[in-house]
C-alpha cells in the first residue's frame, strides 16, 4: 500500500492509502520516445499514478478513479509532457481482484 498526504480544509494534512496493484508495466514506443526527448523517467509518472496523483484529469474523471479504487474499474491518469500528453492506464481488476497491467501511452496510440 502507498500512503499519501493531502491537505485538509482546515489547513492540516490527512494520510490516505491508495491500494491498487499496477500489474505488468507496459509502454508504447511513442511514449518512450516522448519521455526520452523531455528527460522524463517513466517511473516518475508511474509513482504519481500509484500514489493517487491522477494528474491533469477533469473532476468527473477524478471521481471515477476514486470510485475505481473501490469497484475495481480501470484507473486513468493524464500527465502533460512538453506540448503532448501521456496517459497512464491501469486495467480493471479481474474476478480475483487482480489488476494485470498498467500501460503508458499517447492518446493517439489508444
What pLDDT, on the 0 to 100 scale, is given for residue 4? 38
What pLDDT, on the 0 to 100 scale, is given for residue 19? 67
List per-block mean pLDDT (blocks of 10 residues) for the chain, which spans 110 residues: 38 54 97 98 96 95 95 97 98 94 97
What pLDDT, on the 0 to 100 scale, is given for residue 93? 95
- Model pTM? 0.83
What pLDDT, on the 0 to 100 scale, is given for residue 17? 57
| Diameter of the chain measured on Cα atoms | 44
| Residues whose CB is less than 8 angstroms from the CB of residue 1 and which lie 6 or more positions away in sequence, other chains included | 17, 18, 19
**Residue among 22, 5, 26, 1 at smallest CA distance from 14:** 5
Amino acid at each position: 500500500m502507498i500512503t499519501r498526504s493531502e491537505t485538509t480544509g482546515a489547513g492540516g494534512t490527512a494520510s490516505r492509502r491508495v491500494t491498487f496493484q499496477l500489474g505488468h508495466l507496459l509502454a508504447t514506443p511513442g511514449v518512450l520516445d516522448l519521455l526520452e526527448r523531455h528527460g522524463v523517467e517513466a517511473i516518475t509518472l508511474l509513482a504519481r499514478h500509484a500514489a493517487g496523483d491522477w494528474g491533469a484529469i477533469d473532476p468527473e474523471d477524478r471521481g471515477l478513479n476514486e470510485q475505481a479504487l473501490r469497484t475495481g474499474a480501470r484507473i486513468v491518469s493524464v500527465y502533460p509532457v512538453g506540448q503532448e500528453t501521456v496517459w497512464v492506464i491501469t486495467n480493471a481488476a479481474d474476478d480475483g481482484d487482480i489488476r494485470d497491467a498498467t500501460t503508458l501511452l499517447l492518446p493517439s496510440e489508444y
